A and B are shown apart, each in its own frame.
Chain A
Amino acid sequence: MNNAAADMTTSQAGSIKPIFARAKNVTVGYPGEIIVEGINFELPQGQAMALIGTNGSGKTTLLKTSVGLIPPLGGDLTVFNTKPGNSARRIAYLGQFHNAGFILPLRALDVVRMGRFPLHGLVGKMNAADNEMVKSAMHTMGIEKQADTPLRFLSGGQQQRVYLAQVLAHHADLLVLDEPTSGLDAAGRELYLHAMNDEMCRGASIIVATHDIQEEAALCQQIMLLAHKVVAFGPPQQVLNSETLLETFGIVIGKDQKRPAVLECAHGHDTEPAIQAKVKGRKFWMR
């Protein structure tokens, strides 16, 4: 993690963490079409930020801008202290998939292996360590038994697990995930939430677009509510209240069921208090 001293932040615990992504008054959108203006955030190492909003609220546009797929329309957006799109080796991206073309002869394993491509370029050889990471990512998402199965024979939920395993196999410093839980069953969601937590404990940061204002959002240190503008931004307990949710979604449902974070790092010595927060009533550890 090679960041300049100038780009550090003091976290709640008092330790210094490098900033992985920073937006100053950023405008995102497409030429001639501004989608969201005035975006400001700082994402330190090991933290997660959730983008929450309805379909078409600008979540995907902001994600695509932060991985360099579309240029920002204004403001100053840096990822690893450089322009978005310049740090392929350090960024893993999960887009919203179009499953239409999936008659391709690709095994689940082949898809997960693609997660290692950015680290080896065109012809760099994959070694035993790569295979180990691929295997472990498939294990994490519970699809190691499907490794040799062609993707087209897997259900939508299983395919989503494969895509998530691909992201995990990368061991990236920044994970950018667009609705990663779409199509996942309950078990898949739990595996995903654990994996997300493990990634943060490892020191990776996450930007995730989600509709889950409960478990997934509670894992994040920062929440950005989007509705063609930034409705609210800050820690979950501050941001997720009836008024802001009403402004974001136009409707508030199930606000009583809101649960805070329930995960902790396996090796708990160097973690953020927010991740350590334990909550009664629910057993999360499965391993």
Chain B
Amino acid sequence: MSLLEIKNLHVEVGGRKILNGLNLSVEKGQVAAIMGPNGSGKSTLSYVLAGKPGYTVLEGEALYNGESLLTMPPDERAAKGVFLAFQYPLEIPGVASMTFLRTALNAQKKTRGEPELSTPEFLKRVREVAGKLGIEPEMLRRSVNVGFSGGEKKRNEVLQMAMLEPRLCILDETDSGLDIDALRIVSEGVNNLRSSDRAMVVITHYQRLLDYIVPDVVHVLSKGRIVKTGGKELAHELEAHGYAQFAGEAA
């Protein structure tokens, strides 16, 4: 059974149809890249999977571990292991990163019926993971993402991902707004999380990120559906020839 199985998904946002019969399977242990031009439905796909309000599913389904995902509230999806790394991580004034991480982690554990992490255990893990990502302890005491640079915000997303240990990671344009050093650090963080029982869906416009996070499979998204699937070399082909060749196929 695939970890994620999307069948004939049709989704509308604000009266506009964005996804048009999307089919996609992601296996455990797989890193799947989804590439597509602007407006092809990449972010819509990530939001629909995470459960953002305002997206109307007209038809089709998404099964996660065989369970229907689309009717679950976002927090339940998160507790079951779905994680979306946001393209534009939000700033939360007045909520310290540390509090945020701990509240999220314990909320998930509570939903799953697991015991909460003790304070020393939690602190030890945060320090360890943050250290690897080059996140200063000082940053963790500050409000979530407030005053952070683009790179710091993305690193913070990866920190959350590493702490929450999800099974399905959806990375929405994680490379946007990153310089080359930040891209390397963030990619290393993501690569450290690759494992045989975890899948990653890496959504990106550019091939550049895929030099750092090397995918097992590349899907091309155009006009709301997957129009081509191939190996990692497909990314280079797209980089060289552009998306225009697929523009007609989805129509």
Q: Do A and B come from one complex?
A: no
